Structures are given as structure tokens and as C-alpha cells.
Amino acid sequence: MAQHPFATIDPAETNGAELATDLNGRWAAMLSLHSGTTRPAAAVAGTMWIDTAGTPIWTIKVYDGAADISLFAVDTTGNTARPSLGAQQLPTVSTFAGDAAETAFVLSAVPVGADALIVTIDGIVQQKTAAWSLGGGAGKTVTFTAAPPDGSAIVVTDLSDTAVLDPAQVAAVVGLSDALATVSGDTAAINTVATDLDGDDDIGTVAANIADITTAASNIAAITAAPTEATNAAASAAAALASETAAGVARTAAETAETNAGTAQTAAESARDDAVVAKDAAETAEAGAAAAALAAVAGAAASAAFRTRFSLALTRATVGFTNTDGGEVESKAIDAVRLTHDASTGEPLGLLVEPAATNHHITSNSLNGNGVVRMTVTDDDAVAPDGTTTAGTMTETATTGSHAAGASAGKYTIASAGAYYCLSAYVKDVGANTTQHSAIIYSAPFNGVTANWHGWQWDFATETLTPYQPANENVTVGYEKFANGWYRLWATRAPTGASGSGGVGFSFQNDGSSYLGDTDNSMAMWGLMLEEVESLDAGPSSVILTDGSEVTRSADLATADLSTISAFRADGFSLLVEATILDGDGVLLSVGKTSTNEIALVMDAGDLTLTGADSLDLTAASGLTPGDRVVVALRVAENDVAISVDGATVVTDGTHSLNADADEMQFGANIDGSAGLPCIIRQVAVFGPLSNATLEAMSNG
């Protein structure tokens, strides 16, 4: 059978209540339905969508390349859905007891007309007009010409919702005689399905789940375009579904002629089973996981949602910070999920996962110390990016000379000689004049000489950032723009081979280091950090606040339990991963058991490789740098491994021997939590083994 339920991280099932809102659908189903009053402009043959123009009656449609075909109508008020293309409905049955006096009996719903009613007294069909008529209040009262006998059983069967026929649809059914014959002749398969309605195939009882159609439709987010190679398969799945539904129409039309309500109900259930068998056969014939996923979505609308989801378990022993959609910084409690956003646009980016990191600078919000020259430094004087009044300010004094604030020594101590270090701080112009400001690291471990200072020169007016020492090619700089006038600036430098202690200074510049100070020149500073990173291109991690001593933020350990995902099999699986890498070295994602990786996606000096047990080592992409977004699709099976990055031709390995016992997935680290890579996980989906062509199409996103 085609690979059909797939798995995605479910925001609603994580341990962060804000996850569903902040993630904005990025971890929702890989394929979902577009809803609106018009078909999406980019629709191709096989695209399914929800037409909301008839609110509260929504219509699920499929686009065949030329026109929209209506599949199902859904009443969003929660009432029974009425099919627009032969979705089987059970008749509405109303029962009453005669008392030899009462002649008028009120039905539970308004029928489409008297011809839709079968009226019996003690099992004997009563002739319309001669024995009874329809009318009364709201058009739903059956009135007998003579009162039924005392104790008689009155049954009114309303067939209004059992089928809606259209001449064009009937013609289509006539042209499908071969398919109908196949369904009607496959009694063994029908009986098998009938006995497994609640089994592992997730078919479910259609009639009992019709009320869930509204829920399924409302829970399906905007559809992501299926890969190009799967478009024809998706169209075939949609056509097969339409054929099955039309078969149900024809069968229902014949059964409505039955006068016995019990016989009609039994026949309707049999038709439902036939349709399920036909749908299952159509899905088996389809090739490609994307087409199968689309068929799964259609099946969810036709019966009941069976999309498999998995939840995320996250632990972090310390608090952590993340960017909000309002361009501010927010503190997250211990073990809380951290979703991050673009600081300037508010765009949701995904789950922030970071290894442990240490802020070596012991006073993140203050520059008071023995390095203040012709400046006034005030702690806790401005509102910081996190909304607290914890930012320090620096203001020039009206004297001539250099103007600097900081500490010449004793504010950080580092022992890693030959490591990369990133200096970062949040700054804001709070003065009446706009000037250039530069920040430098000086003293050991950079030997206290000008050539080894490392930092930036920043112009608020032009938003221009340059290395403080332009001649020093071993420094890279960058910045993010936040709300309320705040910027986060950073500079990363290559190793010097030294270690020791030192401090950070902020020096105001105005066409030179010596000038008459202006008391209207003032700048706020918050979140000063000095941390070790893996590469020259790396920026800072999330802010770590200090107040007199170094502070280490614990690693995020984000884990998914694969044993709960029906689409995952340890002896053969595929993954789709979309992520942004934030440093040059470390593990982006791993799958395995306890402390042993089955496979791991590893960043190594700009190369993204797939490694694992039995010496697996495939380089899938090269030349990547921190900040790059990648889409990775991979397949892992016995002697059959393949990986594609950003739509590139798959790289394969035919000798990998599986452990075949994997039961968990770790984000941003090895299974044991080691070799962490700072990254943002945008989405992850789990499938059965997919073809090379499908992997390439899926990663081309």
C-alpha cells in the first residue's frame, strides 16, 4: 500500500501553550487544504480546497485542470453534512406510537418533500395522499386521514439526505462500469474491510464519524503545493475518490426504492464498505508519498481524520530567551519550548534549539568599573528589550578628550586558547544627537595591543556596521534590528592562541577619539555577552544575562518518541527536515536509541553530512554558512540510504547495515545530547521509504 499517514510535529501537543499560536502552522501537517471563496491561483490538477462561499455550508472541491468538481458539502454549524456528490448518508428515522386519537405527528427535521418519506404503520407502507399528507408547522408534520390504532408502531423514514443525483454524474457512473464491476465482485475484500473497520488500517466507521467531517475540515491548514512529480498521481487519487463516490450514488439511488427502512439501512452500510474498499485499492495503485498524503487528506474529509501526529518533549535546566513576533526579547522558563521570530519582521521561524553556552562577561547590563573616562554611566536606567528597566546608559560629559566606558580588566576570564569568540550587545540611541559608537575587546586574551582588539563601529543614523579594526580580516560583524529602537550588534574573531582575562569597553567616536563631549550624546546598553563559538561566521546565541559572575545556559534537549508514530518503521523510514543552521559545526538532527545514533545530520566546516552506524558518511551539501536555511529529504533502509538537500540529486549508499532498533529523534544534538548545533527547526515529517525522485522533489522547497 502507498505510504499514507504521515507524521508532523503537533504544536498543540507540546509542553508550551504558546506553541500553536507562535508557530503559525509551520509545524502543522505537511499537506493541508486551502480554504477560501475562490480556488488558489497556483492550483494544478489534483489540488483540493474548501470553498467557504456558502457559509455555513462549505464545499470540499478538487480541481481537475479545467474546472472544480464538488466532493462534499460540510455544515460548519455542526449539523449533519449534506453530500453534493453522493456521500452516503443514513436515512433519518422518526418513530411514534398511535393512540387511536392523534392524527398529526411532527418530524425531527424538515424533509425535502413528501416524496422523500416512507411512512409505515406496524410495518405496512401507507399510501401518500390517501392515508397521509405532509404539511403543518414548518413543513415537517405528517398528518394521517384517520388516527392510527392505539399501540400501533408508526415509522417515518426520511431519505432527504441519502443521495443527490446529477445527470452528468449518472453519465459518469455509466462510463465506469468496469470499476463498478471490480468493486461489486470483490466480496472477499469487502468482508475483510468490514471486519477491520476499527483496526490498524485506521479506516474507522464512516457513518459514525460523519459528524467529525466539520472538525477535520476546520483543522486542515492551507495546503502546501505537492511536488511536481506527484501532481499527476494526486489527480489520479482525486479522480479515483470521485469514482468511488459516484459508485455510492448509483448504489444509493437503487436502495432508496426499498420500502423497508431496515433493509435500506443495511444496504447503505454495505455501500459504505464498498466505497472504503475502492478507496483503499486506489491508494494502493498510487506512487509517491506526496500523492498518498493528498489521498489521506481527501479520506479524512470523506470519513474521519486519521492524520498521525507526534508531540515534542523538551528539557532545559535553565531559563532561556527568544525573539517575539513583536520584535522584543522574552524569557522562557525552565523546560519551556522556545519558538523564535525574525526580529524586524515578526515572521515565525520555528523551534529554537541550542547547546549549552556560557556568557564569560560577568556584568551583562553594566559598564561601571575602572574604565569609565569622561562618561557618566548609570545602571538600570532604561527599558531593556525584554521590557524590564535593566538597561544601563552611557552619557558624555562636556570635557575634551576620549569618551569611553567599560572595564580594563577582570570582567571576563577564558581558558580556551585558539578558540573563536563572539562579542555581542543590545544598544539603543537615547540621546538628542546621533553619533558613531564603537565597542572593543581589549587586554588579554588578545594581548592588549590595538591589532588584537575586536569589535564594531556602528552608526545609528545610517545603520552602518563595520569591524572596529578594518585592517583586521579575522573579524566578522553583524546585527539584528529589534523594536523600540534597539539593535543587537556582534563581532566574531578568529583565535589568537592566547587565553586570560580582560574587559569590554564602549568608546564614543566623533571624527576622532578626542573631542569636546556633548551631554546630549547618550546610549543604552543591555545583554553584553562574550561567548565561545565554532566558526568565524557564527553570530551570538540567545542572550544570557549575568550579574557578577559567569552564567551558563543549559542545552535544549528536544526529543520525539518515534515508537508512537505509525508512519515510522525502524527498518525503513524517510524524513523531511527544514531548518536554519546557526553555527558551523555540530549535529542538526539524529535518530537512534538511548545513546546510539542510527543516523545523524552533521554540520562540519560548512559540509552537511549524513553519518551513522556501520561507517555511514555521505556529504550531501557543501559551502553552507551560519544563517543558511536547508530542506533535507532522506531515506534509510537496509543497504539503501539516500539524501537530497534543496532539490539536488540524491547521494546514496548501498552498504549501510541497520541497527533497526531506533525509537527516538533528537533535534539539534546526538541521541545522547552531545555535539549540539544551534539551529532553528522549521518542520519535520516522517514517512515510509520514499523513492529518489520523491526525495528530490520534496527537498526542492
DSSP per-residue codes, 180-249:
HHHHHH-HHHHHHHHHTTTSTT----HHHHGGGHHHHHHT--PPPPPPGGGHHHHHHHHHHHHHHHHHHH
**pLDDT of res. 264:** 40
- Which residue in 81, 80, 78, 98 sits closest to 156, CA to CA? 98
Is the pLDDT assigned to residue 153 strictly greater than 80? yes
Name the DSSP letter for residue 676: B
**pLDDT of res. 74:** 60
Specify which of 143-147, 182-186, 284-288, 447-451 reaches the highest per-range mean pLDDT.
143-147
The number of residues making up the chain comes to 701
Task: Please provide the distance, in angstroms rounded to a whole number, between the alpha carbons at the two ends of the chain.
Answer: 26
Q: Which helix (H) or strand (E) holds 69?
A: strand 68-75
Distance CA 120, CA 155 (A): 5
* 8 Å CB contact between 658 and 613: yes
- Segment among 244-253, 671-680, 690-699 with least mean pLDDT: 244-253
CA-CA distances (angstroms) from residue 327 to 24, 283, 365, 600?
16, 46, 20, 33
**pLDDT of res. 321:** 97
**pLDDT of res. 348:** 92
Helix, strand, or coil (residue 450): helix
Distance CA 457, CA 7 (A): 48
- Entry pTM: 0.59
**pLDDT of res. 141:** 93
Is the pLDDT assigned to residue 436 strictly greater than 60? yes
For residues 464-476, give the mean pLDDT.
74
Residues with Cβ within 8 Å of 179's Cβ and at least 6 positions away in sequence, in order, are 243, 247, 278
- Which residue in 182, 204, 164 sits closest to 84, CA to CA? 164
Helix, strand, or coil (residue 433): coil
Rg (CA), the chain: 34
* 8 Å CB contact between 350 and 682: yes
- Segment among 64-73, 84-93, 117-126 with least mean pLDDT: 84-93
**pLDDT of res. 494:** 80
For residues 621-630, give the mean pLDDT.
94
- Which residue in 298, 374, 284, 361 sits closest to 61, CA to CA? 298
Residues with Cβ within 8 Å of 124's Cβ and at least 6 positions away in sequence, in order, are none
Specify which of 37-41, 126-130, 213-217, 454-458 reaches the highest per-range mean pLDDT.
126-130
Q: Which helix (H) or strand (E) holds 682?
A: strand 679-687
Q: Tell me the backbone φ, ψ of residue 335, rounded to 5 degrees.
A: 65, 10
Is the pLDDT assigned to residue 86 strictly greater than 50? no
Distance CA 408, CA 549 (A): 17
Distance CA 388, CA 397 (A): 27
- Which residue in 633, 636, 656 sits closest to 645, CA to CA? 633
DSSP track, 500-555: EEEEEEEEEESSSS-EE--TT-EEEEEEEEEEEESSTT----S----BSS-EEEPP
Q: Within a 10 A sphere around the Cβ of 413, how many other Cβ atoms?
A: 16
The beta-strand segments (E) located in 240-390 are: 308-310, 313-315, 320-323, 329-332, 339-341, 348-353, 357-359, 375-382
Distance CA 240, CA 34 (A): 21
Sign of CA dihedral 229, 235, 236, 241: positive
Residue tagged 537615547 (cell numbers): 430
Is the pLDDT assigned to residue 616 strictly greater than 70? yes
* 8 Å CB contact between 26 and 326: no
Specify which of 17-31, 214-228, 478-492, 499-513 reaches the highest per-range mean pLDDT.
478-492
Q: Is the peptide bond before 56 cis (omega within 30 degrees of 0)?
A: yes
The mean pLDDT of the chain is 74
**pLDDT of res. 646:** 95
- Which residue in 580, 595, 566 sits closest to 659, CA to CA? 595
For residues 393-408, give the mean pLDDT.
88
Distance CA 449, CA 444 (A): 9
For residues 541-556, give the mean pLDDT.
96
**pLDDT of res. 461:** 81
- Which residue in 692, 653, 651, 659 sits closest to 571, CA to CA? 659
Is the pLDDT assigned to residue 597 strictly greater than 60? yes
Specify which of 10-19, 244-253, 435-444, 465-474 reaches the highest per-range mean pLDDT.
465-474
Distance CA 128, CA 134 (A): 9
Helix, strand, or coil (residue 298): helix
**pLDDT of res. 416:** 78
- Which residue in 330, 335, 392, 332 sits closest to 361, CA to CA? 392
Q: How confident is the model at residue 268 (pLDDT cuts 50, 70, 90)?
A: very low
**pLDDT of res. 138:** 73
**pLDDT of res. 468:** 73
Strands 487-493 and 104-106, sheet pairing: unpaired
Distance CA 86, CA 165 (A): 7
Strands 124-125 and 357-359, sheet pairing: unpaired
Residues with Cβ within 8 Å of 185's Cβ and at least 6 positions away in sequence, in order, are none
**pLDDT of res. 556:** 96
Distance CA 342, CA 34 (A): 25
Residues with Cβ within 8 Å of 364's Cβ and at least 6 positions away in sequence, in order, are 526, 527, 528, 529, 543, 544, 545, 546, 547
Q: How confident is the model at residue 180 (pLDDT cuts 50, 70, 90)?
A: very low
pLDDT per residue as tens digits for the range 110-150: 888 888 889 999 989 898 888 999 987 678 899 999 999 99
* 8 Å CB contact between 26 and 34: no
pLDDT per residue as tens digits for the range 279-320: 444 444 333 444 443 333 333 332 222 233 567 899 999 999
**pLDDT of res. 528:** 94
Q: Is 668 exposed, middle or buried (0-12, 13-18, 19+ CB in 10 A)?
A: buried
Q: Which helix (H) or strand (E) holds 254?
A: helix 231-255
Give the CA dihedral 333, 338, 342, 344, nearest 10 degrees.
Answer: -10
- Segment among 297-301, 558-562, 619-623 with least mean pLDDT: 297-301
For residues 258-280, give the mean pLDDT.
48
Backbone φ/ψ region at 682: left (φ over 0), alpha (ψ -120 to 50), beta: alpha
Percent of the chain with pLDDT over 70: 65
- Which residue in 390, 462, 453 sits closest to 426, CA to CA? 390
Is the pLDDT assigned to residue 260 strictly greater than 60? no
Distance CA 326, CA 579 (A): 22
- CA 637, distance to chain mean position in Å, is 26
**pLDDT of res. 598:** 94
Distance CA 546, CA 529 (A): 9
C-alpha cell at 44: 494544478
pLDDT per residue as tens digits for the range 160-173: 765 443 444 434 43
